[in-house]
Amino acid sequence: MENVLELQQVSVKFGGLVALNQVDLTVKRGEILAIIGPNGAGKTTLFNIMTGIYQPTSGQVLYKNQKINKLKPYKRVDLGIARTFQNTRLLKSMTVLENVLVAHQEVNKETVFASIFSSKSMQQKRQTIVQECMDKLEMVGLADKAEQLAGSLPYGEQRLLEIARALATGCELLLLDEPAAGMNQSEKRELIKKILQLSKQYHIEILLIEHDIQMIMEISDRIVVLNYGQKIAEGTPQEIQNDPQVIQAYLGGEVD
């Protein structure tokens, strides 16, 4: 299977602390890959390396076989890598649709957001952009809430809106940082459905950090386990579930 994103021997040091130690990792075409590991294992650092917030101390980051080590975060967004964060970053007093509009790849390229919407010659473009944003809302199941204020949505839907905003950047690889954090069981069910749909129906590669082991086992094609900055296991949910080292160190009795 084709590699979409590849980390080769990536190490990250913060002073004397080794946050990532020679990590090899690939995200393959069409898969949902989960990163798990205890607090401080290096999961967020891994996302920050992929999105360009940090640069590796050593090693390579490749996207579609192109070295992207030195690319700024916004350039990586242009290439098709987008992320959501652990905490929602919505504009809560704007509507659901407006939240997606400001994240849209074309709108973002305009220096003055408002200019798109005031110029008559841009009406056609505006319509296309609005339609594309509505499509993203449709993908996460929020199209019928487009005119509501983002802040009025229940928490689970706010997180889905974050995903729609990431999709509006035109991403092909979506990094989800603890997407289920703070969700109740029915919100989690809905999230699982949407993530599977994004992957299988819309063909978006998904990489996620998540502490909810049950959810990870249910949706992941593969799982990578980190501990103290090192990759200690990698495989299908079945393989990870049966890996004695992982069971003992990370999953404990949580997975039957």
By CB under 6 A, name the binding residues for ligand ATP: 14, 17, 19, 37, 39-45
- Which residue number, 43 or 104, has a Cβ lying nearer to ligand ATP? 43
- Which residue number, 38 or 154, has a Cβ lying nearer to ligand ATP? 38
As a dihedral over the C-alpha atoms of residue 89, residue 91, residue 95, residue 96, rounded to 10 degrees, the angle is: -10
Provide the β-strand partners of residue 62: 6, 67
Task: Find out whether 8 and 47 touch, Cβ atoms under 8 Å.
Answer: no
Least CB distance to ligand ATP at residue 84 (A): 14
Give the helix/strand (H/E) hosting 43. helix 43-51
Distance CA 58, CA 124 (A): 47
Task: List the one residue out of 35, 77, 75 whose CA is nearest residue 206.
Answer: 35
Least CB distance to ligand ATP at residue 6 (A): 19
Distance CA 247, CA 242 (A): 7
Task: List the one residue out of 224, 96, 111, 108 whose CA is nearest residue 161.
Answer: 96
- Which residue number, 53 or 255, has a Cβ lying nearer to ligand ATP? 53
Residue 254: count other Cβ atoms within 10 Å of its Cβ.
11
- Which residue number, 54 or 117, has a Cβ lying nearer to ligand ATP? 54
Least CB distance to ligand ATP at residue 177 (A): 8
- Which residue number, 22 or 148, has a Cβ lying nearer to ligand ATP? 22
- Which residue number, 97 or 180, has a Cβ lying nearer to ligand ATP? 180
Give the helix/strand (H/E) hosting 117. helix 113-118
Least CB distance to ligand ATP at residue 43 (A): 3
- Which residue number, 83 or 145, has a Cβ lying nearer to ligand ATP? 83
Least CB distance to ligand ATP at residue 162 (A): 17
Distance CA 106, CA 237 (A): 38
Least CB distance to ligand ATP at residue 149 (A): 30
Query: Which whole-number Å values give the CA distances from 88 to 105, 151, 157, 243, in the listed order?
Result: 19, 11, 11, 34
Task: Find out whether 231 and 225 touch, Cβ atoms under 8 Å.
Answer: yes
Least CB distance to ligand ATP at residue 168 (A): 26
